């Protein structure tokens, strides 16, 4: 995974709409900006000014610029009047597009335009590819059509409002706040509203506000027209009268996400430019000021520190001001010099001077992806002051390398010097396998900042300097471009200043205990889990992959047999022809190329023809093949184990996530999921222990609500879902049917995610009215639950955030939004945050305590994986009698940290594979 932040050599991908930015720059700057020979370069001046600001302040790990072509696109072919109102391009602007391409070539920045497509389609395609690869991406444009691309946490939009310097950074919440609808429904909003700039007509009487309300309430056009009776007579009449026009416009609004863009993601990674060539081109165009801004940045190293005065911090961009902007508070941190020893023996002498009782700061630098690529070296400095030290990786390879490692080990021994840094887990992932450790961690500033503001989960130290210090990190100097030593020195200076500031902020926010007992020690626990990894039976996994491939092929054959003809099952046009033209199934929503064949549409057609059921099954198996076949095999390391990466600063609820690979997404209740789990095995002579919390979210709801019925059911050890069903449906527990129990279970767990009647109806496949009746019965049976939910929303609205008993906060400013849809979404998040947050706190605390107990007891058993509320340990045969009670008692015992009003129960299974242990 590509990560942003301090120390990363590959930050986010930035995709620029070159046409939009050049147009805006041309109209923002005077045309008297020209060369001595009269060539107007005002648009180029503005464009390069923004590019320099982006390189300096945002440290992209990848860049690409897309341009429109002057030739017609597929949209013009479908609607000849498309953009028919556009005036001719100003004569002075047209040549600047070619000049911009020449400058981008000199700066080694890829650019692309595509016959038949617009720049937005190119951006959409590249952003979609990057999101699939989990590379955080920011689309930079002044065109609102790109709003539809926003996808947390992978795609954001940096929107240029006026000129080039007035920008706003949108995530999903920001788009919903601005438009009234989430990005996934922006196409519906835009179709209803129309777009005069593209000569796309809207529905008369439907403006931005009304379009937003409709898009918030209905999934797509089909859903909207299915509920016309719910609308006012005037609006219903307008929609009925303009349906054909609306469907025509809706066919053009969605951006193409699979255009034949010739660039691969690797082509977008920032690469050094030739400074001499860049200078020759820019000065040849008399763009000397632009060259002065770009000169320190063209090496592609990403080390330029963000400026304190930038107006582009996420908070300020999305909310229009606030803490994120440093304004007049901007200052400069003191510089820190790192001594670079020439030999390991000299480094050992210098290390002795670092231990002064205060935390020792660490700043690793990697040759590629942090944690997963070799170390270039590590910067070390005492937080109490003085010079720092740079330990190049090569120092450990010589004859004195073993002594240097021993000196470091003595420095950071248990009970010895504490360490602090930004992104410490990545360093531990490299150090632990070679016997180096940081057993006493004072703070990881990335984790502490995330606790204070979950929006800072992937922020680098430059962003934290602006946010918490109002300062600009010291730059390493004009000759240090690409020098990891200067970059590490800058980071260490920021971390030194952040430690007291973040410590005080955590105390003020009431999160010191959460940080000290849970999040801080969890950094090392997760690093140890990543290093250990989980064993894989490669032959079994290969067999699973082959089984999925065979099953997918058989299902594809069955689809064709049921359809009565041979065709490419993966071809949307061919599938569309078979379903809607040959078999005459009821079409649903339209896309730019015809009727949709997505999963939602097919679900509605499930009972019209047996081919639909088989097709859905085929897609399910094909997804398993493509996700868990070759991709999982590719992640098996030389030691026969998969070493996933665990993240504690991604999910705003506090839940852990994983990637490379994401083992959290293996199907839980299907046979395919069980088959996959058979390939995960312990090392010879050991067992896998799986320990899983029973109904932890419902137990948290019972505790937080204090509902007598739920508390009693848990205290008495009854089947809580059966007990709930009995009260909801008004029958004795012994007469509860399996269907009633399943519905009660769905409601109980749905409440933990803020689910309402519509969501329940979708999950149960029932009418929304019936779902509402079930919810009403539930709240009548458990009134304290309803009161808790209402109280949670009210308190969060008053405070601006939810808070768990251990202090975890979830800011929810949208609870005060004027837009009803935005406000309701925030209310659902408020109901979800407290339950999910406390469950996350308890589970993380259990991980920390289990790891500590195993280490203190000198046991060889090790944590190898966590998935949701489940933890896996690899346990030698001889340790089984000791480890099971240790794990169960520890997991149950974290209830005392709150303390919970209900007991925590743990299910345990043993096996020679993950599947066997889960059986």
pLDDT tens digits for range 324-358: 323 333 455 777 889 999 899 889 888 877 866 78
User: Where are the CATH 1.20.1060.10 domain residues in the chain?
Assistant: 535-642
Q: Is 672 in contact with 621 (CB distance < 8 Å)? A: yes
Residue by residue, DSSP assigns 790-822 as HHHHHHHHHHSEEE-TT--EEE-GGGG-SSHHH
- The DSSP secondary-structure symbol of 515 reads I
Q: Does residue 438 carry a pLDDT above 50?
A: yes
Burial category of 71 from C-beta neighbours within 10 Å (exposed 0-12, middle 13-18, buried 19 and up): exposed
Helix residue ranges per DSSP H, 400-537: 401-411, 424-431, 445-452, 461-464, 484-508, 512-514, 520-532
Helix ranges restricted to H, 509-629: 512-514, 520-532, 538-563, 572-576, 599-604, 610-628
In this prediction, residue 7 carries a pLDDT of 31
Beta-bridge partners for 687: 875
The pLDDT-based confidence of 604 (bands split at 50, 70, 90) is: confident
Tell me, which fold does domain 329-511+520-532 have in CATH?
Answer: Nucleotidyltransferase; domain 5 (3.30.420)
Where exactly does CATH 3.40.50.1010 map onto the chain? 13-178+257-297
Residue 643 has pLDDT above 50, yes or no: yes
Whole-number pLDDT of residue 751 = 67
Mean pLDDT in residue range 193-208? 82
CATH homologous superfamily for the domain 13-178+257-297? 5'-nuclease (3.40.50.1010)
How many CB atoms sit inside 10 A of residue 32's CB? Answer: 7
Bridge partners, residue 870, by sequence: 692, 867
Please state which of the ranges 227-236, 447-456, 541-550, 792-801 shows the lowest mean pLDDT. Answer: 227-236
Give 383's pLDDT tier (boundaries 50, 70, 90): confident
Is residue 593's pLDDT more than 70? Answer: no
Give me the CATH code for the 697-835 domain, please.
1.10.150.20
Position of tokens 């966590």?
866
Following DSSP, what letter does each residue of 696-719 receive, concatenated? Answer: HHHHHHHHHH--HHHHHHHHTT--
- Nearest C-alpha neighbor of 775 from the set 728, 807, 808, 735: 728
* Bridge partners of residue 331, in order along the sequence: 471
**Rounded to an integer, what distance in angstroms lies between the CA atom of residue 804 and that of residue 839?**
9
**Average per-residue pLDDT in the chain?**
85
Asked if pLDDT for residue 418 goes beyond 60, the answer is yes
Is residue 250 scored above 80 in pLDDT? yes
pLDDT in tens, 26-39: 887 777 788 877 78
**Predicted confidence band of residue 322 (pLDDT cuts 50, 70, 90):** very low
Pair 501, 512: CB distance under 8 Å:
no
Confidence of residue 315 (pLDDT cuts 50, 70, 90): very low
> What pLDDT was estimated at residue 719?
86
Q: In whole angstroms, what separates CA 494 from the centre of its chain?
A: 25
Distance, in Å, from the CA atom of 781 to the CA atom of 775, rounded to the nearest integer, reads: 10
- The CA distance from 15 to 265, in Å, is 12
What is the reported pLDDT for 434?
Answer: 93
Residue 899, preceding peptide bond in cis (omega within 30° of 0): yes
CATH superfamily, domain 535-642, is Taq DNA Polymerase; Chain T, domain 4 (1.20.1060.10)
**Nearest CA-CA partner of 522 in 466, 471, 448:** 448
- pLDDT (tens digit, 9 = 90+) per residue, 276-285? 888 888 888 8
Around Cβ 143, how many Cβ atoms within 10 Å? Answer: 22
Q: Is the pLDDT of residue 312 over 60?
A: no
Name the token pair of 549.
Answer: 């491939």
Q: pLDDT value at position 80? A: 75
At 204, the pLDDT band (50, 70, 90 cuts) reads confident
Distance of CA 551 to the CA centre of its chain: 32
What pTM did the predictor assign? Answer: 0.65
Return the DSSP state at 567: -
Helix (H, G, I), strand (E, B) or coil at 784: helix
pLDDT at 882: 97
User: Which token pair is 888?
Assistant: 């169960």
Which structure tokens are listed for 38?
């009269």
pLDDT band at 492 (very low <50, low <70, confident <90, very high): very high
pLDDT value at residue 302: 37
């Amino acid at each position: 995974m590509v990560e942003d932040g301090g120390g990363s050599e590959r930050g986010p991908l930035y995709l620029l709409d070159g046409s939009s930015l050049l147009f805006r720059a041309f109209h923002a700057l005077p045309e008297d900006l020209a060369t001595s020979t009269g060539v107007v370069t005002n648009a180029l001046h503005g464009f390069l000014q923004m590019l320099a600001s982006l390189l300096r302040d945002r440290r992209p790990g990848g860049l690409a610029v897309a341009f429109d072509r002057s030739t017609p696109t597929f949209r013009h072919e479908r609607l000849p009047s498309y953009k028919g109102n556009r005036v001719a391009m100003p004569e002075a602007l047209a040549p600047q597009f070619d000049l911009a391409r020449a400058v981008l070539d000199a700066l080694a920045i890829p650019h692309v335009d595509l016959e038949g497509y617009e720049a937005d389609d190119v951006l959409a395609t590249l952003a979609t590819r990057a999101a699939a690869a989990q590379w955080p991406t920011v689309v930079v444009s002044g065109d609102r059509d790109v709003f539809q691309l926003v996808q947390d946490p992978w795609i954001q939009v940096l929107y240029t409002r006026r000129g080039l310097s007035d920008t706003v950074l949108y995530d999903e919440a920001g788009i919903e706040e601005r438009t009234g609808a989430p990005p996934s429904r922006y196409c519906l909003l835009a179709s209803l509203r129309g777009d005069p700039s593209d000569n796309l007509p809207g529905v008369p009487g439907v403006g931005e506000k009304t379009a937003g309300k409709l898009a918030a309430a209905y999934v797509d056009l089909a859903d909207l027209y299915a509920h016309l009776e719910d609308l006012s007579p005037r609006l219903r009449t307008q929609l009925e009268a303009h349906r054909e026009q609306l469907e025509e416009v809706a066919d053009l609004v969605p951006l193409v996400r699979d255009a034949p863009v010739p660039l691969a993601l690797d082509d977008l990674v920032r690469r050094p430019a030739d400074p001499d060539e860049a200078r020759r081109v820019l000065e040849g165009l008399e763009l000397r000021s632009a060259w002065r801004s770009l000169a320190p940045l063209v090496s592609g190293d990403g080390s330029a520190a963000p400026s304190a005065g930038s107006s582009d911090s996420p908070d300020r961009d999305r909310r229009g001001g606030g803490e994120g902007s440093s304004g007049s508070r901007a200052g400069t941190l003191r510089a820190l010099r790192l001594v670079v020893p020439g030999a390991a023996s000299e480094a050992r002498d210098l290390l002795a001077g670092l231990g002064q009782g205060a935390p020792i700061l660490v700043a690793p630098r990697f040759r590629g992806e942090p944690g997963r690529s070799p170390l270039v070296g590590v910067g070390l400095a005492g937080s109490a002051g003085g010079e720092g030290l740079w330990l190049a990786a090569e120092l450990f390879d010589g004859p004195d390398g073993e002594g240097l490692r021993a000196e470091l080990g003595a420095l950071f021994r248990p009970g010895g010097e504490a360490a602090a840094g930004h992104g410490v887990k990545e360093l531990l992932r490299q150090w632990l396998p070679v016997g180096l450790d940081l057993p006493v961690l004072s703070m990881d500033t990335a984790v502490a900042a995330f606790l204070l503001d979950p929006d800072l989960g992937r922020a680098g130290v430059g962003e934290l300097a602006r946010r918490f210090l109002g300062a600009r990190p010291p730059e390493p100097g004009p000759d240090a471009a690409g020098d990891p030593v200067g970059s590490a020195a800058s980071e260490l200076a920021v971390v030194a200043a952040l430690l007291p500031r973040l410590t005080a902020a955590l105390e003020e926010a009431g999160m010191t205990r959460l940080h000290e007992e849970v999040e801080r020690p969890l950094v090392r626990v997760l690093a140890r889990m990543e290093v250990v990894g989980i064993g894989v039976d490669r032959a079994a996994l290969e067999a699973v992959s082959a089984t999925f491939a065979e099953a997918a092929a058989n299902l594809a054959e069955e689809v064709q047999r049921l359809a009565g003809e041979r065709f490419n099952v993966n071809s949307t046009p061919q599938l569309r022809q078979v379903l809607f033209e040959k078999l005459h199934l009821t079409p649903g929503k339209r896309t730019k190329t015809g009727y949709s064949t997505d999963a939602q549409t097919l679900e509605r057609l499930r009972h019209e023809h047996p081919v639909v059921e088989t097709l859905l099954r085929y897609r399910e198996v094909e997804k398993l093949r493509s996700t868990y076949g070759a991709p999982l095999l590719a992640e098996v390391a030389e030691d026969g184990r998969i070493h996933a990466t665990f993240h504690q600063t991604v999910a705003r609820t506090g839940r852990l996530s994983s990637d490379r690979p994401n083992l959290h997404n293996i199907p839980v209740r299907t046979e395919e999921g069980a088959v996959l789990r058979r390939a995960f095995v312990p090392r010879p002579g050991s067992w896998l222990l799986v320990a899983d919390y029973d109904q932890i979210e419902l137990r948290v709801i019972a505790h937080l609500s204090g509902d007598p019925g739920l508390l009693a059911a848990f205290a008495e050890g009854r089947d809580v879902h059966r007990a709930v069903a009995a009260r909801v449906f008004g029958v004795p527990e012994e007469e509860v049917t399996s269907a009633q129990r399943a519905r009660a279970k769905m409601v109980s767990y749905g409440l933990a995610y803020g689910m309402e009647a519509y969501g329940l109806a979708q999950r149960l496949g029932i009418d929304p009215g019936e779902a509402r009746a079930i919810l009403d019965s539930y709240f009548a049976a458990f009134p304290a639950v309803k009161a808790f939910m209402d109280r949670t929303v009210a308190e969060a609205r008053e405070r601006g955030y939810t808070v768990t008993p251990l202090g975890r906060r979830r800011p929810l400013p949208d609870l005060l939004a004027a837009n009803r849809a935005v406000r309701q979404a925030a209310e659902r998040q408020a109901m979800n945050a407290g339950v999910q947050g406390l469950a996350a706190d308890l589970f993380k605390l259990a991980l920390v305590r289990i790891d500590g107990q195993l280490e203190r007891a000198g046991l060889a058993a090790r944590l190898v994986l966590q998935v949701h509320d489940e933890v896996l340990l690899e346990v030698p045969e001889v340790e089984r009698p000791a480890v099971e009670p240790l794990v169960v008692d520890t997991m149950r015992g974290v209830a005392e940290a709150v303390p919970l009003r209900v007991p925590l129960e743990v299910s345990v299974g043993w096996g020679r594979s993950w599947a066997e242990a889960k059986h």
